[in-house]
Amino acid sequence: MYNSLWQATQKNSLISWLDFRSKLVMVIVITLIAFTWESPITSGILTILVALACLFSGIKLNYLATILKFMLPFYLFLLLTMGFFNVEQVKVLTNKSELTALLSIKGFNLTLEGILYGLSVIFKTLTMILVIPLGIFTTDLNQMIVGLTKIKVPYKIVFIFSSTLRLFPLLAQELEGIIDAQKLRGLSIEKMGLLRKARVYAAIAIPLILNAMVKSQKMEIVLQTKAFSGDNNRTYLSESKLSEIDYAFIIFFIVLLIVVLVLYVVFGVGKFWWLLK
């Protein structure tokens, strides 16, 4: 289960056919749009579109469900803190002197505007969390390496990045093996309370970290024996070329960013109180 979450998608889709540089433009533009928009409506629509694109591209539903499950406590805490305490910033965004109170507890008001701002922040973070695997999980790692070197990223940085991506599935597989071994010994993690479960995972982290250190030391020895220099002037097994579809894709997202900025500045589309007044 854990290993499958980190595997690249094998589904053929429009995004998987694109060059990694095109996907990099997509990730940057969507991230900038997510940062620009303050409205929970536009931010929510963007999050839904990115999630649908992930599913269409073959990213597994259990990966998205795992992200939501993992982030849910943080998002609940964020909604409460924004609803109760983020008063001055929301007043500036809404041009209101008084906010709409939904609940009052010991002098602290849970405001509607604060909840809406919290939702906007949640949608922003979800969009940025989902758009990264949309660009990475749909790309072969070798194509990704060549694409990054084509835009003049130093090969040492590219190598570190690619090695990290290769290491994650191995660590996930080892984690799954350790948990299975604990279950065979009668340990039922699913039935444990939150505190005891945290202690078990903390104990599991120790052999996992040690195994990761052993793998990194072995990789260091291998690189030294092969006289690794990190020079960009090297041959690559894969080729990376921008097609007409890639150019059209890049132009589309650049135009999209310009349109979003113009609508935001001139007409207020995407501002916090857009369509909510």
Are residues 275 and 146 both part of a single domain? yes
φ, ψ of residue 249 to 5 degrees: the values are -65, -45
Are residues 22 and 159 both part of a single domain? no
Are residues 14 and 119 both part of a single domain? yes
Say how far apart CA 78 and CA 219 lie, in whole Å: 41
Are residues 80 and 130 both part of a single domain? yes
Are residues 89 and 17 both part of a single domain? yes
- Domain of 161, in residue numbers: 153-231
Q: Which helix (H) or strand (E) holds 247?
A: helix 244-262
Predicted confidence at residue 35, as pLDDT, reads 94
Residue 37 domain-assigned? yes
DSSP letter assigned to residue 6 = G
Residue 237 domain-assigned? no
Encoded amino acid at 253, one letter: F
Predicted confidence at residue 1, as pLDDT, reads 47
Is the whole model's pTM more than 0.75, yes or no? yes
Non-local (6+) Cβ contacts of 29 within 8 A are 253, 254, 256, 257
Are residues 51 and 182 both part of a single domain? no
Residue 244 domain-assigned? no
pLDDT, tens only, 159-189: 888 777 777 777 777 777 877 877 787 777 7
Are residues 140 and 203 both part of a single domain? no
pLDDT, tens only, 4-25: 444 556 567 778 888 999 999 9
Residue 113 domain-assigned? yes
Using an 8 Å Cβ cutoff, are 270 and 38 in contact?
yes
What are the average pLDDT values for consecutive 10-residue runs of the chain, which has 277 residues?
51 81 94 94 95 88 84 91 89 85 84 92 94 87 84 83 76 78 76 76 79 79 74 70 91 97 94 80
What is the DSSP secondary-structure string of 118-185? Answer: HHHHHHHHHHHHHHHHHHHTTS-HHHHHHHHHHTT--HHHHHHHHHHHHHHHHHHHHHHHHHHHHHHT
Q: Could you give the 3-state DSSP secondary structure of residue 69?
A: helix
Residue 170 domain-assigned? yes
CB neighbour burial string for 202-214, b if at least 16 within 10 angstroms, e if fewer: eebeeeeeeeeee
Are residues 119 and 25 both part of a single domain? yes
Residue 236 domain-assigned? no
Using an 8 Å Cβ cutoff, are 157 and 232 in contact?
no
Encoded amino acid at 172, one letter: A
Predicted confidence at residue 237, as pLDDT, reads 67
Residue 19 domain-assigned? yes
Are residues 121 and 76 both part of a single domain? yes
Name the residue with tokens 């604990």: 182
Predicted confidence at residue 274, as pLDDT, reads 85
Query: 267, exposed or middle or buried, with CB in 10 Å at 0-12, 13-18, 19+?
Result: exposed
Number of domains the chain contains: 2
pLDDT, tens only, 212-235: 788 778 877 877 787 776 666 766
Are residues 86 and 169 both part of a single domain? no
Are residues 117 and 176 both part of a single domain? no
Are residues 102 and 142 both part of a single domain? yes
Residue 87 domain-assigned? yes
